[in-house]
Amino acid sequence: MDDITLYFHIERLFAAYCACLDEDRLEAWPELFTADGSYTMISRENHAHGHPIPLLWLDGRGMLEDRIHALRNASIYEAHRYRHAQSGVQVIDRDDDEVRVASSYIVVQTRGEGFSEVYQAGSYYDRIAIDGDTMRFRERLVVYDTARIKTLLATPV
């Protein structure tokens, strides 16, 4: 796969990821991960100091599906919308069946009272499995800069 094609498929995966969360199609979100894929969210400070204590750790697609099921059926949280902006997408390393990618994100949130504001900013560090033209997250590590957020984390970022 040449570089233009590689980045093209990465961009499509990232767009699908953002669209699942931003357009409230949460049920489609776990499908963007491999069956054994993981989603980990950890603060910049803990990550920098090597403290392996994440805010959220979902290991395997089943846990991702559980999280969405809980959000839809059990959790109580204020209605909100996310909008992602993503930039600085860089392939760090690659081999035949995997590519490692780093990028920056900014998430704007609109809550019930109708105001939109920056909710969180940080980095995605990804291991993406390549299966022909299909790419899926084997590991998405979310390292957030934002130490204080105004609401509890409900929807994944």
Residues in contact with a copy of itself by CB under 8 A are: 3-5, 7-8, 11-12, 14-16, 18-19, 22-23, 44, 81, 83-90, 102, 104-106, 108, 110, 113-123, 145-148
Residue type, 60: G
Rank residues 11 and 36 by Cβ distance to a copy of itself and give the closer one. 11
**Residue that is written with structure tokens 């109580």 in the block:** 76
CB of 65 to a copy of itself, least distance (A): 22
Rank residues 40 and 120 by Cβ distance to a copy of itself and give the closer one. 120
CB of 24 to a copy of itself, least distance (A): 10
Rank residues 49 and 148 by Cβ distance to a copy of itself and give the closer one. 148
Contact of 19 with 11, CB cutoff 8 Å: no
- For residue 129, give both structure tokens: 């499995």
CB of 12 to a copy of itself, least distance (A): 8
Helices (H), ranges, the chain: 3-22, 44-48, 61-73
E strands present in 9-157: 33-43, 56-59, 80-95, 98-111, 116-131, 134-144
Rank residues 39 and 105 by Cβ distance to a copy of itself and give the closer one. 105
